[in-house]
A and B are shown apart, each in its own frame.
Chain A
Amino acid sequence: MGKKILMKGNEAIGEAAIRAGCLNYFAYPITPQSEVAEYLSKRMPEVGGVFLQGESEVAVGYMLFGASAAGARVFTTSSSPGVSLMSEAISYIAGAQCPCVFVNIIRGGPGLGGILPSQGDYFQSVKGGGHGDYRMLVMAPASVQEAVEMMMMAFPLAEKYRNPVMILGDGLIGQMMEPVEFPDDLRTEPTDKDAWATNGMETRGSDKRNLVKSLYLDPEMLNNHNLHLKAKYDQMRREEVRYEPFNLDGDYRMLVISYGTMSRVCKTAVENLKAEGLEVGMIRPQTLFPFPEEEIREAAGKESCKSVISIEMSMGQMVEDVERCVRGRRPVTWYGKCGGEVPTPEEIMQVIKERIDG
């Protein structure tokens, strides 16, 4: 590990990609993530990488598709309205099984919405913003350091599954400055892509051509293709669930589920309540797909736990997944805000106290 340095989330995300071994970046400016592009417009030339500002997010999505299909490690960053425009490409990329990394520094929606922090793109990221049966592996950092680590994990994961991976942050993760270090052990070599990438037959010394596509007109073939994709998503569910348990050892009366920036506020609230003598447990999903289903189900089922609450900066999106996990064994409620103002620890403490016994 290197020395800890102070960095803005957006810049750290750009640097982390380079450290992870990704030297190809395409993007279109949008608040609150434009600093990634600004940082990399300087940094990529220094490391001999590719920086290009595309003419739109639609185009950027396909620049990633093309580059990735040609065997390169590639990523982009954007924010909500831009990610909507990339969603078509994401569907094609998932269908054609190409590894790409997308970063969404979410801002408030729908439509033009606002530019302040939000978690309103949970459904878009986790349930598929584009068409068809596809999933992205979605990771949600709660600090600049975690954003760095997730960025560095994202590339090998995208290649392991030949699937798009999304880092889902919010305006605060992008704009905040925190100490970071770039872990050496997350530096990875790109995997061998000769089996499928259109990197040129000469490059791979083969006379067998590769095709990258998502069209399957034969119904049986398309069904099989989708079964194959599903098998990958099921494997993610088995192998890639990441979450942080917090205060789950004691006899907590309520279970909080929260992720990203919101979870930091919840953590402070849980600590303060503990100091007041009130036990509340918490699970922070680090992967939103795959979702820590078993873990939530089990934690909610604990004898002492009377209710579950999903706290999110959206109008009740993740709560649907939480309900799915809890399966009616405990009452599940939602609390959140999505105008850009992040709820304070005091506000969360108040809500928890009001709802503690279900």
Chain B
Amino acid sequence: MQHEVMFAGFGGQGILMIGKILAHAALEEGREVAWIPSYGPEMRGGTAYCLVAISDRPIGSPIIKNPRHLVAMNRPSLEKFAAKVKPGGIILINSSLAPDKSGRPDVDELAVPVTDIAKDLGSVRAANIVALGAFVARSGIVSFESIQAAVKEEFAEKQKLIPLEMEALEKGRQAAAK
């Protein structure tokens, strides 16, 4: 089974980073992975997105028009990509910055105010990690231990931030459970 997750939001929201952390966690679990960024003129100031493919078999086409899941960190990315998600997938919406409806009755929709949660934790910048925690908890795409390890690895050179990021993951998990 191949899972594809699209992470989308503003440039600067750490979109590419959470995609990379998820890919990393899956790799450590022995899965096949590919991380495909958006690059090109639309990057400047506009929407940033990346796609992570995770599979038990070698990944064929890295060109994926219809991802299984979507993590939409802002309104434009929800509007742009919600319709592309495969039926039965998860759409995680950052309800702090986007309306908490995707208009897709055929998906598992999850609205989490990740920006507000991150603000409460003391750093807006951790919003991406809150979203990652919520998505992983809901999808079970990798184990929670794997994602914790991958986040620690990502912040290995910024040890000071690790407690905050762990807390952010955990808050995400709790929000997804509600």
A/B: CB atoms within 8 Å of each other: yes
- Of A67-75, A218-226, A260-268, A314-322, the one with at least 4 CB within 8 A of chain B: A260-268
Secondary structure type dominating chain A contacts: mixed
Question: B20 near A: Cβ within 8 Å?
Answer: yes
Question: A6 near B: Cβ within 8 Å?
Answer: yes
Q: A6-B24, A179-B27 are in contact. Are A264 and B39 (CB under 8 A)?
A: no
Question: A147 near B: Cβ within 8 Å?
Answer: no
Is there an interface contact between B27 and A264, defined as CB atoms closer than 8 Å? no
Q: Which residues from chain B contact A6 at a C-beta distance below 8 Å?
A: 20, 23-24, 27, 33, 35
A179 (CB) vs chain B CBs: closest residue: B27
CB interface residues, A 177-203, toward B, < 8 Å: 177-179
CB interface residues, B 26-49, toward A, < 8 Å: 27, 32-37, 39-41
Is there an interface contact between A264 and B62, defined as CB atoms closer than 8 Å? yes
Q: Which residues from chain A contact B24 at a C-beta distance below 8 Å?
A: 6
Q: Which residues from chain B contact A172 at a C-beta distance below 8 Å?
A: 36, 62
- From A178, A271, A342, contact of B63 by CB (8 A): A342
Is there an interface contact between A116 and B60, defined as CB atoms closer than 8 Å? no
Is there an interface contact between B32 and A344, defined as CB atoms closer than 8 Å? no
Q: What's the nearest-Cβ distance from chain A to residue B20, in Å?
A: 7
Is there an interface contact between A265 and B23, defined as CB atoms closer than 8 Å? no
Contact with B along A270-308 (1 / 0, CB 8 A): 010000000000000000000000000000000000000
Number of interface residues of A (CB under 8 A): 27
Question: A175 near B: Cβ within 8 Å?
Answer: yes
- From B20, B23, B33, B65, contact of A344 by CB (8 A): B65
Q: What's the nearest-Cβ distance from chain A to residue B168, in Å?
A: 22
A174 (CB) vs chain B CBs: closest residue: B39
For the complex, what is the distance from the CA of A31 to the CA of B63, rounded to whole Å? Answer: 20
Q: A6-B24, A171-B39, A179-B27 are in contact. Are A268 and B60 (CB under 8 A)?
A: yes
Is there an interface contact between B27 and A265, defined as CB atoms closer than 8 Å? no
- From B35, B37, B60, B61, contact of A178 by CB (8 A): B35
Q: A6-B23, A6-B24, A267-B60 are in contact. Are A32 and B39 (CB under 8 A)?
A: yes
CB interface residues, A 312-340, toward B, < 8 Å: 340
For the complex, what is the distance from the CA of A346 to the CA of B36, rounded to whole Å? Answer: 19
Q: What's the nearest-Cβ distance from chain B to residue A240, in Å?
A: 25
For the complex, what is the distance from the CA of A353 to the CA of B39, rounded to whole Å? Answer: 32
Q: Which residues from chain B contact A31 at a C-beta distance below 8 Å?
A: 39
B34 (CB) vs chain A CBs: closest residue: A178
Question: A176 near B: Cβ within 8 Å?
Answer: yes
A-B contacts, 29 of them at CB < 8 A, read: A4-B27, A6-B20, A6-B33, A6-B35, A32-B39, A115-B39, A116-B39, A172-B36, A175-B36, A176-B34, A176-B35, A176-B36, A176-B37, A177-B20, A177-B23, A177-B35, A177-B36, A178-B59, A264-B60, A265-B61, A265-B63, A267-B60, A267-B61, A268-B60, A271-B60, A343-B63, A344-B61, A344-B63, A344-B65
| Across the A-B interface, the 7 shortest Cβ-Cβ residue pairs | A268-B60, A177-B35, A268-B61, A265-B61, A342-B63, A345-B61, A178-B34
